Amino acid sequence: MKNLTFNKKILLIIIFSIGFSVLVSFLFIHYLYSKLYVSSIEDSIIHQGKRTASHYHYGELSDEIIEKIQWYNVVSEYEIIVVDDLDELSSYFPYKINYENLIDSHDQSELEEGKYVMKEGFVEELNREILGAIFPIKGDQGLIGFIYIYVPLEAIQDVFSDSIPILLIAGSLFFCFFFLIITRIWKSMFKPLQDLQRLSDQVSIGNYSDIIQTDRQDEIGQLIKAFNQMSLSLGQLEERKKEFTSNIVHELRTPLTYIGGYTEALKQKIYTSPEEATNYLATIQKETDRLSKLINDLVDLNYLQENSYSTNMEPIAIAQLLFDTIDLFEIHIKEKKLHLKLDIEEDLVVLGDSHRIHQVFYNIIDNAIKYSLSSGAILIKLKKVNKAVQFQINNDGIGIPKEDIERIGERFFRSDKARNRTTGGTGLGLSIVKEIVRLHEGKFTISSTQSTGTTITIQLPYLDIEGAEI
């Protein structure tokens, strides 16, 4: 059974159902025969036998009475035999039922006690079943005779002879209708499943473009829609993987090319002055630092995305942490002649990992400065909004295209790919920021237009002064 395919199992179930229906129909007809037809004959025999025997209580079984009974035998549908003694019954037909004598010792005892005895069985001479009964006739001095009433039973096919054509026609129509229904259900169930099997084969070899069109709303329809969505998601994931591989190869190739080229130049002493050699060494150092930062950021991001990672949560005076982070960029702000505006509430407390929150501030402020225009403005806000501490930073640099907004924060994704060398970024900073915010059960949003610049908003759960998280 385990080796059978699903459709073969369903076919076996259908065949079993049909067989079961036929069996139930047979049993039902047999029930009608045995319980209704035979029972009605038995009740009639008992009623007629008792009635006949009761006419002769306390009388004698005279020739006149026997003649009346025999006359009744002629006009009745029953065969009636009247005898004075039980031994005489053995000489009347049928004298054997089921190939055994009509009367045995137990039957004789019952009759002598005044009870009637039912007889049912096969009679060879008639080649059919009979149903009968023997009734004792009482006189003044006890039993004076016996009445034997029996009737040959019609065969079951004879009983239902008038109904069989109707049953055959109704049965044929039923099975034709049943076959049509099963065929429709078969196609309805297995055609989508076969399509799913075909699609799964395509997915297994890396083809994620095919989908199954369906307007079904049942479980199979929901399964198809879920599979379509899974296929599309796998396709998108595959594209992202290819892009990720391409990006990381690109990120590694350029610094390695610089390092290899300048190292070979220094090794071959291909330079014109000590200053040029020093510049080569500086470039090697710069590209080495870039590689180191790239590897560290990748390790850090993977570490943050592991389900087993847990933050070191503690109450943080977040305003002071923000001020300390801003101080680290004082030189860069002066170099680009940026105008820094601060709107910070200084008594705010959050429950979080101070090292990771500092990492969030550092990456976001670093990006805001890198992508600001010279002599531009940066606005930093830190306020309590409802039940959250909201950090917001805005710069008036070049805006991010609308189609790139949703992808900000993906690994290695840069909206302006031409700036990756001048800014020195790895394309992982915002990915790390989003993971840290997620681990703190916060929210990260970004908006950007050419007129207002780019705004990043982060909300973290607020902690009241008693240390209870709101």
Query: Using one digit for the tens of pLDDT, what is the confidence trace for 328-385?
Result: 999 889 989 999 999 999 999 999 999 889 989 998 998 889 888 888 899 999 999 9
CA–CA separation, 143 and 115 (whole Å): 11
Query: At 60, is the pLDDT very low, low, confident or very high (cuts 50, 70, 90)?
Result: low
Coil/strand/helix, residue 1? coil
Mean pLDDT calculated for residue range 204-217: 75
**Of 30 and 463, the one with more pLDDT:** 463
Model confidence at 400, in pLDDT bands (50, 70, 90)? confident
- As given in the structure block, the two tokens for residue 198 are 């075909």
pLDDT at 466: 57
Please, what is the average pLDDT of the chain?
78
Helix (H, G, I), strand (E, B) or coil at 81: strand
Out of 1.10.8.50, 3.40.50.300, 3.20.20.140, 1.10.287.130, which CATH number does the structure's domain 204-309 have?
1.10.287.130
Q: Which residues belong to CATH 3.30.450 in the chain?
A: 6-159
Note the pLDDT of residue 16.
75
Highest mean pLDDT among 217-226, 284-293, 389-398, 459-468: 389-398
Give me the sign of the Cα torsion angle 46, 52, 58, 59.
negative
Q: 152-204, pLDDT tens digit by residue?
A: 876 555 555 555 666 667 767 777 777 777 777 766 666 777 777 777 777 77
- Identify the CA nearest to 427 among candidates 252, 213, 174, 230: 252
Give me the sign of the Cα torsion angle 97, 100, 101, 103: negative
- Is residue 274 scored above 70 in pLDDT? yes
Which pTM does this prediction carry?
0.48
State both tokens at 25.
């129909």
If residue 423 lies in a helix (H) or strand (E), which one and from where to where? helix 420-423
DSSP-derived secondary structure for 349-383: EEEE-HHHHHHHHHHHHHHHHHTSPTT-EEEEEEE
Query: In Å, what is the CA distance from 59 to each residue of 55, 140, 143, 222, 419?
Result: 9, 7, 10, 87, 132
379/310: higher pLDDT: 379
The two three-digit tokens of residue 172, written as one number: 């044929």
Share of the chain above pLDDT 90, in %: 13
> Residue 287 and residue 209: Cα distance in Å, rounded?
40
121: phi > 0 → left, psi -120 to 50 → alpha, else beta; which? left
Judge if the upstream peptide bond of residue 136 is cis by omega within 30 degrees of 0.
no
Do strands 100-101 and 443-449 pair parallel, antiparallel, or not at all (unpaired)?
unpaired
Residue range(s) of every CATH 1.10.287.130 domain in the chain:
204-309
If you compute the radius of gyration of the chain from its CA atoms, what whole number of angstroms results? Answer: 51
- When the candidates are 3.30.450, 3.30.1370, 2.60.40, 3.40.5, the CATH number that belongs to 6-159 is 3.30.450
Q: Please check the confidence at residue 37 and state whether its pLDDT lies above 80.
A: no
**Which part of the chain is CATH 3.30.565.10?**
311-461
The larger pLDDT score, comparing residue 71 to residue 270, is at 270
pLDDT by residue (tens digit) across 452-463?
788 999 999 988
- pLDDT value of position 419: 46
Q: Distance between CA atoms of 11 and 194, rounded to whole angstroms?
A: 16
CATH match of 311-461 with 3.50.50.60: no
What is the pLDDT, as a whole number, of residue 418?
A: 44
